[in-house]
Amino acid sequence: MRRSPKELQSTHRKMGRRALLLGGAQLAFAGALGMRMRYLQVDQADQFRLLAEENRINIRLIPPARGKLFDRNGAIIAQNTPSYRVVIVPEDAGDVDLILSRLSQLIELVPEDLERAQTEMRRSPPFLPITVADQINWEDVSKIAVNAPALPGITPEVGLTRVYPQGADFAHVVGYVGPVSDYDLERIDDPDQLLRIPRFQIGKVGLEAKEEDNLRGKAGAKRVEVNATGRIMRELDRREGQPGADLQLSVDAELQSYVQARLGVESASAVVIDCESGDLRAIASAPSFDPNLFVRGISVADYRELTENQYRPLANKSVQGTYPPGSTFKMVTALAGLEAGIIGADDTVYCPGHLEISGRRFHCWKRAGHGHVDLQNSIKQSCDVFYYDLALKVGIDKISAMAKKLGLGVRHDLPMSAVARGLAPDRDWKSRNYGQDWLIGDTANAAIGQGYMLTSPMQLAVMTARLATGRSIEPRLVKSVNSVEQPTGAGDPLDVNENHLRQVRRAMFSVSNDRRGTAYRSRIIEDDYRMAGKTGTSQVRNITAAERRAGVIHNRDLPWERRDHALFVDFAPYDNPKFAVAVVVEHGGGGSVAAAPIARDITLQALYGGTPPLAAYPSKDRNKIKAQQERLHRERPGSGKDGKDRA
Instruction: Report CA dihedral (339, 342, 348, 353) to the nearest 10 degrees.
Output: -100
The 3-state DSSP class for residue 31 equals helix
Q: Is the pLDDT of residue 590 over 60?
A: yes
- 330-381 residue pLDDT tens: 999 999 999 999 999 899 999 999 999 988 999 999 989 999 999 999 999 9
pLDDT at site 640: 43
DSSP string computed for 553-608 = PPGGGS-GGGSPEEEEEEEESSSS--EEEEEEETT---IIIIIHHHHHHHHHHHHH
Residue 24 and residue 646: Cα distance in Å, rounded?
93
Query: Environment class of residue 175 by beta-carbon count within 10 Å: exposed (0-12), middle (13-18) or buried (19+)?
Result: buried
- 428-441 residue pLDDT tens: 999 999 999 999 99
In which residue ranges of the chain is CATH 3.90.1310.10 found? 58-249
Please tell me the least confidently modeled range out of 33-42, 196-205, 452-461, 470-479.
33-42
Please tell me the least confidently modeled range out of 83-92, 546-555, 579-588.
546-555
User: What does the pLDDT average to over 41-50?
Assistant: 57
Query: Environment class of residue 6 by beta-carbon count within 10 Å: exposed (0-12), middle (13-18) or buried (19+)?
Result: exposed
Residue 641 and residue 643: Cα distance in Å, rounded?
6
Query: Environment class of residue 488 by beta-carbon count within 10 Å: exposed (0-12), middle (13-18) or buried (19+)?
Result: middle
Residue closest to 331 by CA, chosen among 584, 509, 490: 509
Helix%, strand%, coil% for the chain, nearest 5? 45, 20, 35
Q: Is the pLDDT of residue 233 over 70?
A: no
pLDDT at site 231: 55
CATH topology of domain 253-635: Beta-lactamase (3.40.710)
Residue 180 and residue 159: Cα distance in Å, rounded?
16
Residue closest to 332 by CA, chosen among 162, 90, 504: 504
Q: Is the pLDDT of residue 484 over 90?
A: yes
Residue 389 and residue 349: Cα distance in Å, rounded?
8
Instruction: Report CA dihedral (249, 253, 258, 263) to the nearest 10 degrees.
Output: 40
Residue closest to 323 by CA, chosen among 593, 567, 570, 597: 567
Residue 571's contacts (CB-CB under 8 Å, 6 or more residues apart) are 275, 464, 465, 467, 468, 508, 531, 532, 533, 577, 579, 580, 581
Residue 646 and residue 280: Cα distance in Å, rounded?
20
Residue 141 DSSP class: H
Q: Is the pLDDT of residue 9 over 90?
A: no
pLDDT at site 229: 52
Q: Which amino acid appears at position 122 of this protein?
A: R
Residue 492 DSSP class: P
Helix axes 396-405, 427-434, angle to 10 degrees: 100
Radius of gyration of the chain (CA): 37
Q: Is the pLDDT of residue 647 over 70?
A: no
Q: Is the pLDDT of residue 453 over 60?
A: yes
Report the alpha-carbon angle 379-502-420, nearest 5.
Answer: 65
**Confidence class for position 644, pLDDT limits 50, 70, 90:** very low
The CATH homologous superfamily for domain 58-249 is Penicillin-binding protein 2a (Domain 2) (3.90.1310.10)
Q: Is the pLDDT of residue 45 over 70?
A: no
Q: How far is CA 312 from the centre of its chain?
A: 15
Residue 298 and residue 445: Cα distance in Å, rounded?
44
Neighbours of 247 (CB within 10 A): 24
> What does each C-alpha distance from 293 to 231, 289, 311, 316 come to in angstroms?
33, 9, 19, 17
Query: Environment class of residue 192 by beta-carbon count within 10 Å: exposed (0-12), middle (13-18) or buried (19+)?
Result: middle
User: What does the pLDDT average to over 495-522?
Assistant: 97
Residue 607's contacts (CB-CB under 8 Å, 6 or more residues apart) are 529, 572, 573, 578, 579
Q: Is the pLDDT of residue 283 over 90?
A: yes
User: What does the pLDDT average to over 515-542?
Assistant: 93
pLDDT at site 272: 98
Residue 552 and residue 548: Cα distance in Å, rounded?
5
Q: Which amino acid appears at position 342 of this protein?
A: I
Q: Which amino acid appears at position 598 of this protein?
A: I
pLDDT at site 40: 61
Residue closest to 334 by CA, chosen among 349, 314, 322, 320: 349
DSSP string computed for 202-238 = EEEEHHHHHTHHHHH-B-EEEEEEE-TT--EEEEEEE
Please tell me the least confidently modeled range out of 47-61, 68-82, 221-235.
47-61
Residue 104 and residue 454: Cα distance in Å, rounded?
56
Are the C-beta atoms of residues 112 and 298 closer than 8 Å to each other? no
Q: Is the pLDDT of residue 12 over 80?
A: no
In which residue ranges of the chain is CATH 3.40.710.10 found? 253-635
Instruction: Report CA dihedral (98, 99, 104, 107) to the nearest 10 degrees.
Output: 170
The 3-state DSSP class for residue 471 equals strand
- 95-115 residue pLDDT tens: 888 888 888 888 888 887 788
Residue 617 and residue 613: Cα distance in Å, rounded?
8
pLDDT at site 246: 96
pLDDT, the chain, mean: 88
Query: Environment class of residue 25 by beta-carbon count within 10 Å: exposed (0-12), middle (13-18) or buried (19+)?
Result: exposed
